[in-house]
Amino acid sequence: MALLDVRNLAVSIPTPDGDVHAVRSVDLQIERGQIHGVIGESGCGKTMTGMAALGLVPKGARIAADRFHFDGEDLRENARGLRGRRIGLISQDPAAALNPVLSIARQLDDVIRAHRDLPRSVRQAEATALLAATGLPDPEKVLKSYPHQLSGGMQQRVVIAQALATGADFLIADEPTTALDVSVGAQVLALLRKLVNERGLTVLMITHDMDVIAEACDRATVLYAGRSVETGPVGAILRHPAHPYTRALLSALPDAAPHGARLAAIDGSIPPPRSAIVGCAFAPRCPQAMPICSATAPPGRRRDTHHWLCHLPEGAA
């Protein structure tokens, strides 16, 4: 059984100008011990999907799903009860996630004390061990520090230590390398893989960067306009992308262009979240679109554990 099992998730936010369809139809099945990436452009519903699992959607938002379960529990009924206890968050901006006027020791102690009834000396030892587990050198010095005294990479490791301090075994990493330079970001991705291997964690990796998917993830789901359009093993998606949008994302990578050539771009933009969508949402931007694409929702296709939605027959790319 998948640890996180999401079928046809939709999140809509009522506004005076009409509902905002932040998520329209997302499917995710994430197995224990995996890093599962969710990728797409800004506005495709990546972060809102993760926030729905945490019970952190905007006030008044409506969540609908055929199934929205974490380890057998319905997240529509108990997301807040699972948040912190089983599900943790690693935010994309570690500086904003840390309190600037409290020491790292105080902030870690507050998290440990909120979730476990331990003597102060044991909590101090646990905080030191957690920082050491994230690869921070001299954890005792870090504990005495304040966030502004740490680099961005060190701050992100502290945020990861906070997530571990809750005892969570499922982490939602929301663009965890966005605020970091490339080399530090690679170190953070390597740390998450190490924690998955050593502690049996499971990670939902939210990103707009296909290189993060390639480097860190076991499986991936591609979102477009709030819908899952392709999901499968990372190797299959990178070598044999089936959906035109996935192929467009890959062709836009710098490594995909010959030296000196202009980088490929995806013409057009994502449909506004208030708009009604008939047929395939990507049809107006798809170079292979047919008349049926704009009129009828695309069928599901599959190759082993690789799934996608498209009217084009397999191999038509």
Task: Please spell the DSSP secondary structure of the chain, one letter per residue.
Answer: --SEEEEEEEEEE--TT--EEEEEEEEEEE-TT-EEEEE-STTSSHHHHHHHHHT-PPTT-EEE-SEEEETTEEHHHHHHHHBTTTEEEE-S-HHHHS-TTS-HHHHHHHHHHHH----HHHHHHHHHHHHHHTT-SSHHHHHT--GGGS-HHHHHHHHHHHHHHTT-SEEEEESTTTTS-HHHHHHHHHHHHHHHHHH--EEEEEES-HHHHHHH-SEEEEEETTEEEEEEEHHHHHHS--SHHHHHHHHTSGGGSPTTSPPP---S-PPPTTS---S-TTGGG-TT--GGGGTSPPPEEEETTEEEE-SSPTT--
- Confidence class for position 3, pLDDT limits 50, 70, 90: very high
Residue 317 lies in a domain: no
Can you give the pLDDT at residue 258? 62
Q: For 172-227, what is each residue's pLDDT tens digit?
A: 999 999 888 999 999 999 999 999 999 999 999 999 999 999 999 999 999 999 99
Question: Looking at residue 8, which CATH number applies to its domain?
Answer: 3.40.50.300
Residue 137 lies in a domain: no
Q: For 79-114, what is each residue's pLDDT tens digit?
A: 999 998 999 999 989 999 999 999 999 999 999 999
Q: What is the count of structural domains for the chain?
A: 1
Residue 256 lies in a domain: yes
Residue 186 lies in a domain: yes
pTM score of the predicted model: 0.93
